[in-house]
Chain A
Amino acid sequence: MESAEDWLVESLRLYQDFHAFDLSGATRVLEWMGDKGILVAGYESLKKNEILHLILPLRLSVKENQGLFPERDFKVRHGGFSDRSVFALKHVPDTRLLVTSGLPGCYLQVWQVAEDTDVIKAVSTIDVHETEGSLWSRVAIFSSAAPGVLHGVRLSSLKVVDLESQKTTYTSGVGDSELLSSLQVLDADTFAFCCTSGRLGLVDTRQKWAPAEYLGPSPGSAGGRWCAAAGGRGPGPSIASLGSDGQLCLLDPRDLCHPVSSVQCPVSTPSPDPELLQVTWAPGLDLCLAISGFDGTVQVYDVTSWDGMWGRVDPLFTHRGHIFLDDNGVDTAPLVTTHTWHPDKPRTLLSAASDASLHVWDWVDLRASC
């Protein structure tokens, strides 16, 4: 394909490093385990799915003398089988435990990553009481000496369950049945939630439910589905909220009622699967975030000086690898299902798509070349 070759030549200039892999099944999760391992899991509905713990290619983990390490491959360090689709997966820090959420059956599964063999085994479950069969629970982990699992389908069913004793240590206690789209633990006592409507808030678990909230985009706007992420580095807004119509809002946690900016990203809308929408902050760069879930691309934005910005913006970088390396031909272009940033390498990301591809890419900041 002519365009694939052209893109490959372009990529020499656009990426420092680029790896492309084919998993045996597409994944919707990319969760770090340590700084060298990544977890993926399948989401097919009628067959056994695999949960894999992959170790990053040696080349990416070595700091010096990179050229002497020829290995560009992932090592499957552990693997397990799940009869259910996995839509969310979280590693419990400082343990060998994983928590997954999926369908059918709205319960959470707890797994153990073996130490002496390469097997991931199911060990226990956590009940989630939800009557509607097609909804699955969002999950986040409070890591401490006694880890707690924060989960919920709706605001009303938000709970924290102690992993070991299975006792509920926190409930939201509200009757609001709004559906959740993201949950994120910020520190030992706080977490952020975002509803599908775009309403988001920061909750202190030591108090009765009284979150600092942003009630969502104005009622006049088209609706659509929203997700959010907190954790921007550097001065300024540290919460980003992304809508299925391509709108990106930045908020400051000190004043959630008034978004700092709201821009329109150049993406194909509406997103074919709004559940796949994702926005993430770069852990190693100031005021830099990435979005995916609209098509086969991942877009990186520099949000410095977006204060009071409205209207259209352009991404700093667009990863098109999933489109150009798609070997399946023209029928259906793949959709990026998830992405994540490398914790240590500032410009390295991992992205996965619906065609079971998994890319690791280190983009070049073309503005910095002088």
Chain B
Amino acid sequence: MPEIRVTPLGATEGGSTSHPPSCSGAGQDVGRSCILVSIGGKNVMLDCGMHMGFSDDRRFPDFSYITRNGRLTDFLDCVIISHFHLDHCGALPYFSEMVGYDGPIYMTQPTQAICPILLEDYRKIAVDKKGEANFFTSQMIKDCMKKVVAVHLHQTVQVDDELEIKAYYAGHVLGAAMFQIKVGSESVVYTGDYNMTPDRHLGAAWIDKCRPNLLITESTYATTIRDSKRCRERDFLKKVHETVERGGKVLIPVFALGRAQELCILLETFWERMDLKAPIYFSTGLTEKANHYYKLFIPWTNQKIRKTFVQRNMFEFKHIKAFDRAFADSPGPMVRSGLRGPARLGPCLQVVFATPGMLHAGQSLQIFRKWAGSERNMVIMPGYCVQGTVGHKILSGQRKLEMEGRQVLEVKMQVEYMSFSAHADAKGIMQLVGQAEPENVLLVHGEAKKMEFLKQKIEQEFRVSCYMPANGETVTLSTSPSIPVGISLGLLKREMAQGLLPDAKKPRLLHGTLIMKDSNFRLVSSEQALKELGLAEHQLRFTCRVHLHDTRKEQETALRVYSHLKSVLKDHCVQHLPDGSVTVESILIQAAAHSEDPSTKVLLVSWTYQDEELGSYLTSLLKKGLPQAS
């Protein structure tokens, strides 16, 4: 039977939300995604993530699982990357340039644009800040990206003659996609990270009723029930409002412009009602990136969101302005009338978005240094920070930081860690399974013992099998692909003409010839097949000799045979022909004298190939001998 095999090579380990720290310091999400799938003789690697919790080789997936001695390029048909987060693409340059893989790497266009930026950023932090050796180089990142083939949403991409892939919208971050991998009639869908509730700038994931043999879904948040978007937003607004009200400033370091976009829309909506007297500022670094980002973003989103954005480009916010680094020093709040951007007095800074997101360099770090000393100020960290960055340190609770030149910075400002990333929770996973209607479900990145209930829930609700393999464990699914065969009308009609109506409870044997041409299967009558192929029909006839001891004449033997068979074979047509031979249906039995021994008679039983069954039955019957003549 054909099989689909799945082996996860990466998992969530340590320091995750399931192991909350005992001392102060946030439990930051860590983990790496890397899954190997074998389907229809093809091998596909899904994602190639880095585990940021480790500084040694443990951060890379164990690629030796894939193939012990063969070359990866020969073994793998393709690699697919779901989105630009480092725990899904962080090990890609290591994999392709240091381990060695030259085949195609598929990802969506925004992912292709953003991945190299994040990889380079990460490389800089690891090598420059933490002094790591054996890390991939900038050139390796470039060489790796040369192997990338960009795909569009809902576009079927032929990897080769048999393997095709298709990307679906996953929400989560810009460019994130879920992938369908198909070989013949077998298919697997891999979700990557996704969310089923829309946020302000990215819609929810969507897939059609594609009914894959297997749905592989991330389940890191499978055992959570997510707080509503409104309450998360409320929390953010409250923090900003309280800080501004007491005369403080709010710094929000961001990388992903999408996230900044989301928060800008939120602040803009509530700006007036929240007594924000000053506009929200974007550092110039962000402004430059914004155009580039905008160009990637607009073709990616759906119609509905695109409409809102054509009207409301990032720069067309009423209360959002760009600012120059010189003004970070300005004391605030000094309210000026006519908010038209930087003026001689300097803008009144209350809320600032600045890059980079982990406070490891650049403008956000500069502003942080200036504002850290006041407890009226606040920094809101919007996501995971890599070890070695200032962001990571302050999220771990550190309040005294050693900066360049041995300067110690005392951090008195309030540090807030807010998680804005969207993931599917238990409810979301159920929704997606309901949309795709898979035959089987496989959960990755959860802890099996803690997901027994979810497994039961999925199995009961959807009547599917649910698997939860551990890291390195292979799940094998037997598939029974249905092969459609077209049956010729002539053949069908002939069978119907035989009189007996089709009965669902009594299957009837149908004889025909299966013709396989290209990917087409047809069942036709033998005659038609012969005609199409230009062959002549052969007749096969079998003859068997049965020796009987009988001293009488042949004619009498024949008569004895006739009487015997007539009485035994009541269901069959047994006839005694004028020439002395006996027929059972179309089987012919002739009696002859043995050439050498007159007391032995030889029965010649002959039948055509079609009557094989009856023929062999008769033969064995006759071999048992005839009853004594009365």
Contacts and interface: CB of A to CB of B under 8 A. Distances in A.
B304 interface: no
Contacts of A72: 226-227, 231-232, 235, 419
B451 A68 contact: no
Contacts of B227: 19-21, 57, 72-73
A72 B233 CA distance: 12
Contacts of A67: 414-417
A75 B449 contact: no
B552 to A, nearest CB: 80
A326 B414 CA distance: 33
Nearest to B223: A76
A68 B225 contact: no
A5 interface: yes
Given A24-B426, A76-B426, A79-B457, A68 B417 contact: yes
A20 B225 CA distance: 10
Interface in B436-453: 449-453
Interface centre among B230, B235, B417, B418 (most CB of A within 10 A): B230
Interface string B1-35: 00000000000000001101000111100000000
A79 B454 contact: yes
A68 B234 contact: no
A70 interface: yes
B238 A12 contact: yes
Given A64-B24, A69-B417, A118-B223, A24 B427 contact: yes
B76 to A, nearest CB: 36
Contacts of B273: 9
A48 interface: yes
Contacts of B417: 67-70
B270 interface: yes
Interface residues of B, number: 48
Contact of A325 (B18, B224, B230, B450): B230
A67 B403 CA distance: 24
A68 B25 contact: yes
Nearest to A53: B453
Interface in B406-430: 414-419, 425-427, 430
Interface residues of A, number: 43
B129 to A, nearest CB: 22
B274 interface: yes
Nearest to B269: A5
Interface in A49-79: 50, 54, 57-58, 64-65, 67-79
A8 B223 CA distance: 28
Contacts of A118: 223, 449-453
Given A118-B449, A118-B452, A65 B397 contact: yes
Contacts of A54: 225
Given A65-B24, A67-B415, A22 B449 contact: no
A20 B231 contact: yes
B275 to A, nearest CB: 10
Contacts of A58: 17, 20, 27
B303 interface: no
Interface in B219-266: 221, 223-228, 230-235, 237-238, 241
B453 A78 contact: yes
A123 B460 CA distance: 20
B238 A75 contact: no
Instruction: Please report whether the interface of chain A is mostly helix, strand, loop or mixed according to DSSP.
Output: mixed
B234 A71 contact: no
Contacts, number: 125
Contacts of B234: 8, 11-12, 18
B96 to A, nearest CB: 33
A4 B235 CA distance: 16
Contact of B449 (A9, A116, A358): A116
A274 interface: no
A72 to B, nearest CB: 4
Nearest to B237: A12
A319 to B, nearest CB: 14
A39 to B, nearest CB: 14
B156 interface: no
A75 B454 CA distance: 12
B225 A21 contact: yes
A64 B417 CA distance: 14
A69 B456 contact: no
A122 interface: no
Contacts of B269: 5
Interface in A18-60: 18-24, 48, 50, 54, 57-58
Given A12-B237, A21-B226, A73-B227, A119 B452 contact: yes
B50 interface: no
Given A73-B226, A325-B230, A68 B415 contact: yes
B456 A20 contact: no
A298 to B, nearest CB: 17
Contacts of A24: 426-427, 430
B395 interface: yes
A231 interface: no
Given A9-B270, A9-B274, A75 B416 contact: no
A165 interface: no
Contacts of B238: 12
Interface in A260-318: none
Nearest to B24: A65
Contacts of B20: 58, 69
A3 to B, nearest CB: 13
Contacts of B228: 19-22, 325
Contacts of B274: 9, 12
A81 interface: yes
B232 A117 contact: no
Nearest to A68: B26
A80 interface: yes
B230 A8 contact: yes
A72 B17 CA distance: 11
A164 to B, nearest CB: 26
A80 B17 contact: no
A68 B452 contact: no
B419 A71 contact: yes
B426 A68 contact: no
A18 B231 contact: yes
A74 B453 contact: no
Given A18-B231, A65-B25, A65-B397, 4 more contacts: A18-B234, A68-B417, A73-B226, A118-B453
18 contacts: A12-B241, A18-B234, A21-B225, A22-B427, A57-B227, A58-B20, A65-B397, A68-B24, A70-B419, A71-B27, A72-B419, A73-B224, A73-B227, A75-B17, A75-B225, A76-B453, A118-B223, A119-B452
Interface of A: 4-5, 8-9, 11-12, 17-24, 48, 50, 54, 57-58, 64-65, 67-81, 116-120, 325, 358
